[in-house]
Structure 1
Amino acid sequence: MSGHTQHLPDNAGDWLLPLARTAIAGVLGADPGPRGEVPTPVPEWMESQGATFVTLTQNGHLRGCIGSLLAHRALVDDLRYNAVASATQDYRFPTLTADELARTDIEVSVLSAPTPIEFSTRAELEEQLRPGVDGLILTVELRRATFLPQVWEQLPKPALFIDQLLAKAGVSPDRVDWASDRVTAKRYTVTDWAE
């Protein structure tokens, strides 16, 4: 297995999306349909390490989203695992049913390696964020949450983005000591493909 997936071909979605759909269909006992047809052969870059998030939507509404923040296995394996997990293990939603799969759209995001952001106040953190570009991993004490860059579409202002990310982590914004070394932030970017 070679190193991290750096540059994926522009048409990577031609493999990533049908592979995700086929993995979910296999677990649900569903027909993957025409969107599940995977071109062959599977390219070599799929064997390099990669971190993926798989997002499921129905009529534009979230139906499941699970992923990896760090590359720790082959991209193809990470993709299959997270595709199945997003359909069956997202605690916010009931398990996807075989009947639902045909009307579920899949989006695959491949993440860059996260890099730390230095800050000592919330304002400093907000100033450094790049709306629409940065995904953010926020850790407060023992709680951690992330938003993919796509979330900026719903939360375009850094203050709102951070408030909602803290809520996702179960942390009250007025209880955060931003100067503490127990509050950390890392940014990453994604390359994404959607059906």
Structure 2
Amino acid sequence: MEREDRLTSEQGRYLIDVARKTIEKALRKTPAEPDSSGGRPDAGLFHVRRGTFVTLTRDGQLRGCIGHIAAQAPLIESVRENALSAAFRDPRFRPLSADELDRIAIEVSILTEPQPLAYTDAADLLAKLRPGVDGLIIKKGYHQATFLPQVWEQLPRKEEFLTNLCLKAGLDPEAWRKGDLEVLTYQVQAFEEES
């Protein structure tokens, strides 16, 4: 991620706070307050369109993760939307309940623009992967899936990472070996809630 695109730790903490307050307001069913600049760190980057993901964990286990790879809205709006989606619309989980709120941890990920990864065959693809650095998008026809770079922590072996990503996309688990997938990479600046 380019230095001018990077957020400070203070800005990251602010975005985590925005995500938590957005979820809290939804649970209390109170209307969202208009955004004010009070207490907000320098907000120039908050209005730039960026891809974002919001991840919720509970006791170290995934509890919801939703995002947009492509920049669809200004950064701060994208974080709000994805916080609500991760909490209440992730189809893998039941909606978050009020009694869980104090037990979840929030992570906000800011994505770079995805770039095509040219490769010739499975061996070349494996050689070009950068575990822990790159997030990966695979596409084939109508099938598509992504794993954030953080997923390398759970799936550190390149073959296992690709196999699981193919499964997530609804493809044959060995589809990556055939060399006909469109592959894109991106990087992430992630901010985790302090416990």
* TM-score (ref. length: structure 1): 0.87
Cα 1:129–1:176 shift into 2, 3 Å: closer
> What is the match of residue 29 of structure 1?
28
CA distance in 1, matches of 2:188, 2:177: 29
> What is the match of residue 34 of structure 2?
none
> What is the match of residue 152 of structure 1?
152
CA distance in 2, matches of 1:141, 1:166: 13
CA distance in 1, matches of 2:183, 2:11: 29
> What is the match of residue 168 of structure 1?
168
Q: 1:72: how far off?
A: 2.2
Q: Percent identity?
A: 40
Q: 1:178: how far off?
A: 3.2
Q: 2:190 corresponds to which letter in structure 1?
A: D
> What is the match of residue 74 of structure 2?
74
> What is the match of residue 19 of structure 1?
18
Does the 8 Å contact 2:5/2:45 carry over to 1? no
CA distance in 2, matches of 1:130, 1:166: 17
CA distance in 1, matches of 2:116, 2:138: 10
Q: How many residues align?
A: 183
Does the 8 Å contact 1:30/1:99 carry over to 2? no
Q: 1:7: how far off?
A: 2.3
CA distance in 1, matches of 2:144, 2:79: 22
Q: 1:177: how far off?
A: 7.2
> What is the match of residue 114 of structure 1?
114
Unaligned runs of 5+ in 1: 32-37
Q: 2:15 corresponds to which letter in structure 1?
A: L
CA distance in 1, matches of 2:171, 2:82: 26
Cα 1:176–1:159 shift into 2, 3 Å: closer
Q: 1:174: how far off?
A: 3.7
CA distance in 2, matches of 1:39, 1:100: 28
Q: 1:101 corresponds to which letter in structure 2?
A: L
Q: 1:39: how far off?
A: 6.5
CA distance in 2, matches of 1:151, 1:24: 24
Cα 1:175–1:105 shift into 2, 3 Å: closer
The alignment's C-alpha RMSD in Å is 1.9
Does the 8 Å contact 1:120/1:178 carry over to 2? no
Unaligned runs of 5+ in 2: 31-36
Which is further off, 52-61 or 40-49?
40-49
* TM-score (ref. length: structure 2): 0.87
